[in-house]
Amino acid sequence: MEEYDYAFVEEIPTYKSTFDNVTKDSGYSDYSYCDKFMDQSNHPDDYKNICIFLFKGLMYIHNNKKNAIPEGGTENLTKKNCQYLIYRLNHELRNIKEHPCNTSIFIQKVNSYISNLSSEYNICENEIKELGSIVFNNIEVLNVLYKHLNNYIYGSFKKHEERCNCAKKCAELYDNLLPHCYLYKSTFCNALIKFGNRYNQYLAGEDKCPELKKCLYFPQTENRNSEFTPLGEWLRSKTGKTKRTSYDEDEESYQVASGAFQSKETNPRRIGYRIAYN
């Protein structure tokens, strides 16, 4: 089974906003690499913008790492930036309908070309690869889950029923994905469980959506015939309190300042969240 670190997915709206701005920044204006690289392609115009986006992104990540304060996990931040950049590269390549290029061939050419350039363009050398269909689809579906949840939390609606529908979509999609995790243990399932915990914390105090599921369940892969115990009780027995979690911004559906996700915390009411055990 393909393993992948999905930790960056919940922050995709933040990365999207950042890299959209990088793409528009005229300060990153050296397109000569793309001109030379695209000369080798059959349909260069279809891929030039993608190439420019990639090289601008690599330069941004390099400069961001160089200027970052050493404390606070610089390597992890660089990895997440690279993961988003390569996910978006794969996404853009998959969306080209006319003159489609094999993604793996395009990325092979990119890697071959970058290896001869200065070191700043090698900042994501471990991440520049074609994402397999399983990993790519997992990223997409996790992103959809977080978009629905973020819409529920921060969206502006004329009717509360519309807000309720956002959370309902979360629960329905989560329940459709969950059976896979009763059979297999994977990093995707870990990411799914992390999302479920986030959902449970935000929905704990919901009292205006009477038919809405307030608690998503977590699988125990070692035993299919699992029982469930309230997660809130389990956490209190281990730590004495329920942890608070920060919120990461959503894209397009609402506006949040670029640094806000680090300062906005939930304050969930106590609830019997459930976790599987043998």
- 196-217 pLDDT, tens digit per residue, is 999 999 988 888 888 888 888 8
Question: Do residues 156 and 108 both lie within one domain?
Answer: no
List Cβ neighbours of 140 (8 Å cut-off, separation of 6 or more): none
**Domain assignment present for 185:** yes
Per-residue confidence (pLDDT) for residue 100, from 0 to 100: 63
Phi, psi angle pair for 159, to nearest 5°: -125, 140
**Domain assignment present for 1:** no
Residue that is last in its domain, among 76, 96, 122: 122
Reduce the secondary structure of 65-89 to three states and give it as a string.
HHHCCCCCCHHHHHHHHHHHHHHHH
Question: Do residues 153 and 258 both lie within one domain?
Answer: yes
Class of residue 176 by CB neighbours under 10 A (exposed 0-12, middle 13-18, buried 19+):
exposed
Question: Do residues 150 and 256 both lie within one domain?
Answer: yes
Question: Do residues 90 and 140 both lie within one domain?
Answer: no
pLDDT band for 245, please (50, 70, 90 cuts): very low
pLDDT digits over 95-131, tens only?
Answer: 887 666 677 888 888 777 777 776 778 888 888 888 9
Question: Do residues 139 and 56 both lie within one domain?
Answer: no
Long-range contacts of 147-150 (CB under 8 A, 24+ apart): 147/13, 147/250, 147/251, 147/253, 148/173, 149/195, 149/198, 149/199, 149/202, 150/13, 150/247, 150/248, 150/249, 150/250, 150/253, 150/254
**Domain assignment present for 89:** yes
Decide: pTM greater than 0.85. Answer: no
pLDDT digits over 43-88, tens only?
Answer: 667 778 888 888 889 989 988 887 665 555 577 888 999 999 999 9
What is the crossing angle of helices 44-67 and 103-114, to 10°?
50
On the question of pLDDT at 11 being above 80, the answer is: yes
Residue that wins the pLDDT comparison between 246 and 2? 2
Question: Do residues 179 and 273 both lie within one domain?
Answer: yes
User: How many residues appear in the chain?
Assistant: 278
- What percentage of the chain carries pLDDT values higher than 90? 30
d(CA 37, CA 44): 9
Residue that is last in its domain, among 95, 122, 149: 122
**Domain assignment present for 37:** yes
Question: Do residues 32 and 159 both lie within one domain?
Answer: no
pLDDT band for 250, please (50, 70, 90 cuts): very low
Question: Do residues 61 and 17 both lie within one domain?
Answer: yes
pLDDT digits over 227-238, tens only?
Answer: 333 333 333 443
Question: Do residues 223 and 144 both lie within one domain?
Answer: yes
Per-residue confidence (pLDDT) for residue 6, from 0 to 100: 96
Per-residue confidence (pLDDT) for residue 230, from 0 to 100: 35
Residue that wins the pLDDT comparison between 18 and 249? 18
d(CA 204, CA 86): 36
Please give the average per-residue pLDDT across 181-201, as a whole number.
Answer: 90
**Domain assignment present for 128:** no
**Domain assignment present for 246:** yes
Mapping DSSP to helix (H, G, I), strand (E, B) and coil, where does residue 209 land? coil
Per-residue confidence (pLDDT) for residue 217, from 0 to 100: 84
**Domain assignment present for 94:** yes
Question: Do residues 114 and 138 both lie within one domain?
Answer: no
Question: Do residues 61 and 145 both lie within one domain?
Answer: no
Question: Do residues 227 and 267 both lie within one domain?
Answer: yes
Residue 230 β-bridge partners: 274
Helices (H), the chain: 12-24, 32-38, 44-67, 74-94, 103-114, 133-154, 160-183, 187-203, 231-239
CA distances (Å), origin 114, targets 55, 117, 124: 9, 5, 10
Residue that is last in its domain, among 70, 101, 122: 122
d(CA 251, CA 260): 13
Run of H or E residues at 277? strand 274-277
Q: 12 lies in which domain range? A: 7-122
Domain count across the chain? 2
